[in-house]
Amino acid sequence: MLHERSRGMPRQINNLATQALVATYAQKKSTVDAAVAQAEVAEVAVAVVLGE
**pLDDT tens sequence across 11-34:** 877 888 888 899 999 999 999 888
What pTM did the predictor assign? 0.74
As a whole number of angstroms, the longest Cα–Cα distance in the chain is 31
pLDDT band at 52 (very low <50, low <70, confident <90, very high): low
Query: How many other CB atoms are found less than 10 A from the CB of residue 38?
Result: 14
CA 41 to chain centre: 4
Q: In angstroms, rounded to a whole number, what is the distance separating the alpha carbons of residues 37 and 48?
A: 17
Number of CB atoms found within 10 A of residue 36's CB: 19
**Residue 40 DSSP label:** H
- Dihedral sign computed on CA atoms, order 11, 13, 16, 18: negative
Mean pLDDT in residue range 2-13: 72
Of the pLDDT bands very low, low, confident and very high (cuts 50, 70, 90), residue 39 is confident
